[in-house]
């Protein structure tokens, strides 16, 4: 049912161009391999700049709440899907499906949640397999937790619905409250 509610709010946005993720002074905090075959690269990264979702003119959201010692659970939170206009160049949905499957596998074998915590410089997690890259980014100054199975659903949905046939090349889903977003793009 979550997926259906996600589809109901998904609104493709047209009229802007997509620029690749700009991560200044990118520092990999940790690296591992995910999935049953350990073939999906997972990196917790820190960027010195503020990263905003493509097609969304928002700033880093500070002060929504005080820094909390327990991460705020945002599993099941709604987000709006934006496809990056311009045909061609999107990731292969089959490669993205491998990432989604790795997220589901890790949800069952490691745990259902990922934590995005600015206090430990882990506000961004990237996952890459062949032509597909996805990342999730915490845009607030306190820790968030997100469900791996929700992330997998978004990866599959964006990869399948933001392709050349839709005059797109990847996309993202920005939380309604703009605290986080997930992006899918060519690696």
pLDDT higher than 60, residue 27: yes
Lowest mean pLDDT among 65-69, 124-128, 183-187: 65-69
State how many domains the chain has: 1
User: pLDDT tens, 149-174?
Assistant: 999 999 999 999 998 888 888 999 99
Q: Which residue's entry shows tokens 């005059």?
A: 167
43 bridge partner residues: 31, 126
Domain limits for position 123: 2-186
Name 83's Cβ contacts closer than 8 Å, sequence gap at least 6. Answer: 12, 13, 14, 158, 161, 162, 166, 168, 170, 171
Q: What average pLDDT does the chain have? A: 80
Model-level pTM?
A: 0.79
Model confidence band, residue 49 (pLDDT cutoffs 50, 70, 90): low
């Amino acid at each position: 049912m979550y997926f259906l509610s996600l589809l109901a709010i998904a609104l493709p946005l047209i009229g802007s161009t997509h620029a690749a993720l700009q991560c200044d002074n990118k520092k990999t905090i940790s690296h591992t391999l995910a999935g049953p075959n350990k073939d999906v690269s997972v990196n917790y990264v820190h960027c010195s700049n503020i990263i905003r979702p493509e097609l969304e003119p928002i700033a880093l959201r500070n002060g929504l709440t005080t820094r909390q010692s327990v991460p705020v659970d945002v599993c099941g939170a709604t987000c709006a899907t934006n496809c990056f206009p311009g045909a061609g160049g999107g990731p292969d949905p089959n490669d993205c499906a491998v990432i989604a499957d790795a997220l589901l596998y890790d949800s069952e074998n490691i745990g259902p949640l990922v934590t995005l915590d600015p206090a430990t410089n882990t506000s961004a997690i990237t996952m890459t397999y062949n032509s597909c890259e996805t990342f999730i980014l915490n845009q607030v100054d306190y820790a968030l937790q997100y469900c791996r199975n929700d992330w997998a659903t978004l990866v599959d949905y964006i990869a399948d619905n933001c392709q050349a046939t839709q005059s797109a090349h990847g996309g993202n889903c920005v939380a309604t409250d703009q605290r986080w977003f997930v992006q899918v793009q060519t690696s």
